[in-house]
Structure 1
Amino acid sequence: MRGPSPKDVRLPPLAAIQAFEAAARLGSFERASEELFVTASAIGKRIAALEALLDVSLFIRSSRGTTLSSAGREYLEQVRTALDLLSDASLHKRGEPKPEPLRVVSTPTFARQVLIPYLPGFTAAHPDVELEIMLSIPYLDIMPPNADVWIRFGSGKYPGLRTQPLTEDPVFAVCAPGYRDAHGPFRRPADLAQAQLLRCPMEPWRPWLDAAGLDWPEPSRGVWLVDLGMMLDAARAGQGIALTRRTLAAEWLDEGKLVRVLDIDVPGESQYYLCTEASRPPGGARQAFSLWLETVCKQASQWPCGLRASHE
């Protein structure tokens, strides 16, 4: 008995598979349409036809956009493998090294203050890695989908993710030298009564005030900044005193653009963690990036000789 002929096998159209892979990788139908030079409506129709053929929903659609379903994530891995094989089979690709994509999602402050300044070291050591960096917004819990690596700020407890601590930074107070000279000296904690304490929900003042022996409530006046980087920028601009940590403020502390206020450290309630999917085995570009970033964070957290000042 002969098996089914090729005509009996319903293969998905390559255009539909390409539309699905691009939308999943780029995070939206619109960006996929730009890459494939078709309309977003055409992308949507191709994916809908693919879902009908497979009899499964590949995306979860809502008013906020689309995200991959669990079935979509599984199918994406299969599609990528198939597309890689097709790509490698092309004669003009044989013999050429294939770059390994690595999509990294980071908080804005960590990306700006830590990741980007040191990034040339990674790209020089790993020219075969095709790196893409996306930003998340921790306070609003907004995070691009389909990443290979996440850099998160919090407790380190994220279900379904394998976590690796990047920082163990204590938290301390800083300000611009000009602000210290105009509103100081700040020799005792009580001297901060006349200072503007910059506020950010990611770094509350209450633990530091307790360590300083100040029975003050959490500051309730002044500009509310929902990003650690914006709070550091405000401090550097002479707008008040901010709480920070060595890893984030290393460059400005070393250059003297920020100075410590008093010599009081408290453990950071939140720290930075590098996260990967627990279901995916470590290795390749993800492992290389993890090891490199761990070294970078250790380097950034070190105090040069003489800079741990307590004379403010």
Structure 2
Amino acid sequence: MQLPIKAILVFHAAARAGSISRAAEELSVTPSAVSQQIQLLEGQLGVTLLAKAGRGIALTEAGERYFSMIADQIERIEEATGTIRGFRSVTTLTVRATPTLSNKWLLPRLGNLLDQHADLEVRLDGTNEPTDFNQESVDVEIRHGDGRWPGLFVEEMAEEQFYPVCSPDYAQAGSLSSQELLEHRLIHSVKSQAQWNSWFPLAGVTPQNRWRRVLFDRSHMAIDAAVRGMGIALESTLMMGDELAEGRLICPVAEPPEVRIVTQWIVCPRDHLRQKKVRLFLDWLRQERESWQQAFPSRPKSG
């Protein structure tokens, strides 16, 4: 039997993209041409490979098994073809993440990923807008929220600890009581899941009057404001790890209440996990997360 190479390549593109239309765009053909090639392959194999799922497609059990058997080989053929033509094979990975995580956590580490994988080109899209994976060409998102997004692969990024921080020029570590914080300007990240009005009751403090404050809609702005001595911020260890490690931020409260929350989640359609570039990125991300967890103290230094 003659091997239907064209139909196999079209099926691989459609399964990887999770969409007939996106596969057609990638291959520069019409959606009907993609469908015809997949039907041809299904006829030769005698099994159904794809089924409709909402506005996209889903692999059948047979399709899952077939894709898992051919995916690595086809990607190796693509890389070899690019190399023999004299071009460096480049794979583009598009990652969407919240602005603060992009700026404070991903960006300082991204060079390690690029140095390890010279054939990987990364586009980092820093925004709080959740991805519509049916409409947007995003491979992986690190999303802010509560982790409840049915139908998607969801994995927690890391458990974060929230506590008050300020510049060491503003106040010394462990020098203030929770009650005394009310005498200072408090920096607010308005979209954060940890807020001063919920932190004070945990610290056993009942504010009697409205406190002085400055508000930012991005946590990285609140962190930078605290570093500049503008006041005291309530922020996440995941976002301000470098500032804490370098001593640019300290905790002015000796024994702050323990507030631990997961606010950042790794999110993507489950069929994206079949893509080599996505698996590579997630493996790297998990390694970086583990290194951060091992290196970071579980409690703030009190001085």
Question: Which of residues 275, 278, 290 in structure 2 aligns to 1:286?
Answer: 278
In the aligned structure 2, how far is the partner of 1:225 from the partner of 1:298?
A: 30
| Structure 1 residues 111-190: aligned runs within 5 Å | 111-138=102-129, 145-180=136-171, 186-190=175-179
Pairing 1:244–2:235 present: yes
Contact 1:169 1:301 in 2 (8 A): no
Question: Which of residues 233, 238, 259 in structure 2 aligns to 1:267?
Answer: 259
Question: Aligned-pair distance for 1:304?
Answer: 5.5
Pairing 1:194–2:183 present: yes
Q: For residues 109-132 of structure 1, what are the alpha-carbon distances to aligned partners after superposition, in whole Å with 9 as ceiling and x for unaligned?
A: 111111111111111111122211
Contact 1:247 1:301 in 2 (8 A): no
Distance 1:124 1:158, change over 3 A: same
Question: Aligned-pair distance for 1:220?
Answer: 6.7
Distance 1:282 1:217, change over 3 A: farther
Pairing 1:77–2:66 present: no
In the aligned structure 2, how far is the partner of 1:218 from the partner of 1:296?
A: 43
Contact 1:101 1:130 in 2 (8 A): yes
Distance 1:89 1:290, change over 3 A: closer
> 2:183 corresponds to which letter in structure 1?
Q
Question: Aligned-pair distance for 1:216?
Answer: 3.1
Counting matched residue pairs gives: 234
- Across the aligned residues of Structure 1 and Structure 2, the Cα RMSD in angstroms comes to 3.5
> 2:99 corresponds to which letter in structure 1?
P
> 1:168 corresponds to which letter in structure 2?
E
Report SS of the residue matched to 2:226: helix
Q: For residues 34-71 of structure 1, what are the alpha-carbon distances to aligned partners after superposition, in whole Å with 9 as ceiling and x for unaligned?
A: xxxxxxxxxxxxxxxxxxxxxxxxxxxxxxxxxxxxxx
In the aligned structure 1, how far is the partner of 2:94 from the partner of 2:213?
A: 37
Q: For residues 207-233 of structure 1, what are the alpha-carbon distances to aligned partners after superposition, in whole Å with 9 as ceiling and x for unaligned?
A: 321221112389675322000000001
In the aligned structure 2, how far is the partner of 1:295 from the partner of 1:242?
A: 29
Contact 2:160 2:260 in 1 (8 A): yes
Contact 2:82 2:88 in 1 (8 A): no
Distance 1:135 1:91, change over 3 A: closer
State the identity as a percent.
Answer: 24
Q: For residues 90-144 of structure 1, what are the alpha-carbon distances to aligned partners after superposition, in whole Å with 9 as ceiling and x for unaligned?
A: 99964755322211111111111111111111111111222111111359x9xx9
Report SS of the residue matched to 1:76: helix
TM-score w.r.t. structure 1 length? 0.65
> 2:242 corresponds to which letter in structure 1?
E
Q: For residues 234-253 of structure 1, what are the alpha-carbon distances to aligned partners after superposition, in whole Å with 9 as ceiling and x for unaligned?
A: 10010111111222111111
TM-score w.r.t. structure 2 length? 0.66
In the aligned structure 1, how far is the partner of 2:141 from the partner of 2:209?
A: 31
Pairing 1:298–2:290 present: yes
Report SS of the residue matched to 2:103: helix
Runs of 5+ unmatched residues, structure 1: 1-71
| Structure 1 residues 50-65: aligned runs within 5 Å | none
Question: Aligned-pair distance for 1:159?
Answer: 3.4
